[in-house]
A and B are shown apart, each in its own frame.
Chain A
Amino acid sequence: MTRSARIFSNGQAVAAASGYDGAPPRVGFFTDTSVCIGCKACEVACKEWNRIPEDGLTFTAMSYDNTQGLGADSWRHVAFVEQVREGAPGDLAGAGRVRWLMSSDVCKHCTEAACLDVCPTGAILRTEFGTVVVQEDVCNGCGYCVPACPFGVIDQRKEDGRAWKCTLCYDRLGAGHEPACAGACPTESIQFGPLDELRERADRRLAALHGAGMVDARLYGRDPDDGVGGGGAFFLLLDDPEVYGLPPDPVVTTRDLPQMWLHAGIAAVALAVTVAGVFVGGHHAP
Chain B
Amino acid sequence: MRHEGKLARVGPEGVVPRRRAQGGDDQTCTSYYGLPVINQPVWSARDVAGYLFLGGLAGASALVGAGAHVTERPRLARSAKLGAAGAAALSMLALVHDLGRPARALHMLRVVKPTSPMNVGSWLLAAFGPATAVAAASDVTGVSPVLGDAATVCAAVLGPAVAAYTAALISNTAVPSWHEGRREMPFVFVASGASAAAGVGLVLAPAGELAPVRRLAAVAGPTEIVLTKLMARKMGLAGEPYRTGRAGATLRIAEVCTLLGAGGALFARTRRAVALGSGLALLAGSALERFAIFYAGLHSAQDPRYSVLPQRERLSRPPDGTSR
Contacts and interface: CB of A to CB of B under 8 A. Distances in A.
Nearest to B10: A62
A12 interface: no
A6 B20 CA distance: 41
Interface string A138-165: 1111111011111111111100111100
A267 B186 contact: yes
B118 A248 contact: no
A120 B119 contact: yes
Question: Which bracket fits the contact residues of A?
Answer: 35 or more
Interface in B298-314: 301, 304, 307-308, 311-312, 314
Contacts of A152: 36-39
Nearest to B178: A147
Contact of B182 (A79, A117, A244, A259): A259
A242 B161 CA distance: 39
Contact of A141 (B31, B71, B101, B174): B101
B36 A7 contact: no
Contacts of B161: 264, 268
Contact of B14 (A62, A143, A154, A162): A62
A138 B71 contact: no
Interface stretch (B143-151, B213-221, B243-251, B283-291): B213-221
Interface residues of B, number: 101
Grouping DSSP codes into helix (H, G, I), strand (E, B) and loop, the B interface class, with mixed when no group exceeds half, is helix
A127 interface: no
A87 to B, nearest CB: 13
B116 A140 contact: no
Task: Name, among B7, B30, B101, the residue most crowded by chain A CB atoms within 10 Å (CB to CB).
Answer: B101
Nearest to B165: A264
Given A68-B2, A249-B311, A271-B193, A63 B15 contact: yes
26 contacts: A58-B7, A79-B32, A82-B17, A118-B117, A118-B118, A120-B111, A120-B116, A120-B119, A142-B98, A143-B42, A147-B173, A149-B39, A150-B37, A242-B312, A245-B37, A248-B312, A257-B117, A257-B168, A260-B171, A260-B182, A261-B168, A264-B161, A268-B160, A268-B165, A278-B212, A279-B68
Interface of A: 7-8, 55-56, 58, 60-63, 68-71, 73-74, 79, 81-85, 114, 117-123, 138-144, 146-157, 160-163, 240, 242-250, 253-254, 256-257, 259-261, 263-272, 274-276, 278-282, 284-286
Interface of B: 1-4, 7, 10, 14-18, 29-33, 35-43, 59-60, 63-64, 67-68, 70-71, 98-102, 104-105, 107-108, 110-111, 113-119, 122, 156, 159-161, 163-165, 167-169, 171-175, 178-179, 182-187, 189-190, 193-194, 197, 207-213, 215-216, 219-220, 269, 297, 301, 304, 307-308, 311-312, 314-315
